[in-house]
Copies of this chain bind each other. A is one copy, B any other.
Amino acid sequence: LTATTVIATPRQEPITPIAPVRITEPAKVELGKQLFFDPRLSMSGVISCNTCHNLAFGGTDNLKTSVGHKWQAGPVNSPTVFNASYGLAQFWDGRAADLQEQAQGPIQANVEMAMPHNLAIEVIQSIPGYRKQFEAIYGDKNVSLNNLTDAIAEFEETLITPNSRFDQWLLGDNDAISVAERKGYELFKSSGCIACHNGPAVGGTMYQKMGLFGAYKSSSPSQGRFDVTGIEADRYQFKVPTLRNVELTYPYFHDGEAETLGEAVDLMGRLQLGRTFKETEINQIVAFLSTLTGERPDIDLPHLPASGINTHRPEPFK
């Protein structure tokens, strides 16, 4: 709103504004959206991507760890899908190169949707309304995992939250953030948070060890990058998460152990910077972080296409 009318000089800062999406393939985005909301991609017929990445909220489920197929608890906290495309890789441990590769994971994962890929493809293929869209977009009436995940990824790339108050300030609107929020940002830079949380997504650009100035104690089995590379130096290295919309993505850290933003900031100070913040400092940083909440896209709930007569029916209790 304000941001677009302001003509002052944009600020040169280590955090840069995120641009609104320009949608170039609307049909593919629409297909991807349908798939994102479709519980028929799960064995039970009740779990969709949106169950754990609620787009009505912050793109997460706001649980310590997710509830998946048959009410199983997942091992780690669900990260937001908003602005995920800015990440250098996907997942806390970066084990998927990009959104398309990532999307293969949860469908088949037993603690998430528990749907074998061949059955997922068969189900989508059996739904006339999907077959038609795949044919129109990919020129192939056979649905493939490749095209299915391509469509989901294309949709996810539209999940950008521009025009946060902080972006407005970056673009030159001096009044977009308060004095306390501004102080919080200065502290965020001067104390060193910015070394890890930077770029357009305020994170997502690197892996870093959790617990530089003392071990981080967690009950989570995840060992971060080490689980992917097996390299000792990668133990407990996690992708630095985006801090955009962070006030909506509680609880915090890969294990979801920190319930509030104040708690997370306090711990970051101690463990990543060897510094104990005063309460006023924590409050200022939290105030700054809340200026990173952007405009969530307006999403029309899709009208999912009807199952065919031979569409394999969900089996929640098998």
A residues engaging B (CB < 8 A)?
37-39, 44-46, 51, 54-58, 61-63, 67, 70-71, 73, 247-248, 250-251, 259-260, 296, 298-304, 306-307, 309, 313-314, 316-317
Contacts and interface: CB of A to CB of B under 8 A. Distances in A.
Nearest to A298: B300
Nearest to A51: B46
Given A54-B39, A61-B45, A63-B314, A260 B309 contact: yes
Copies of this chain, complex-wide, total: 2
Contacts of A296: 303
Contacts of A306: 58, 247-248
Contact of A62 (B45, B54, B73): B45
Contacts of A259: 313
A260 B250 CA distance: 43
A17 to B, nearest CB: 21
Contacts of A67: 44, 46, 316
Given A56-B301, A71-B71, A299-B301, 18 more contacts: A37-B56, A44-B67, A45-B61, A46-B61, A46-B67, A51-B51, A55-B301, A56-B303, A63-B316, A67-B316, A70-B71, A71-B316, A73-B316, A73-B317, A248-B306, A259-B313, A296-B303, A300-B301
Contacts of A299: 300-301
> A67, A260, A302: which has the most chain B beta carbons within 10 Å?
A67
A314 B62 contact: yes
A71 B71 CA distance: 6
Nearest to A305: B57
29 contacts: A38-B56, A39-B54, A44-B67, A45-B61, A45-B62, A46-B51, A46-B61, A54-B304, A55-B301, A56-B303, A56-B304, A58-B306, A62-B313, A62-B314, A63-B314, A63-B316, A67-B316, A71-B71, A73-B316, A248-B306, A251-B313, A259-B313, A260-B309, A296-B303, A298-B300, A298-B301, A300-B300, A300-B301, A301-B301
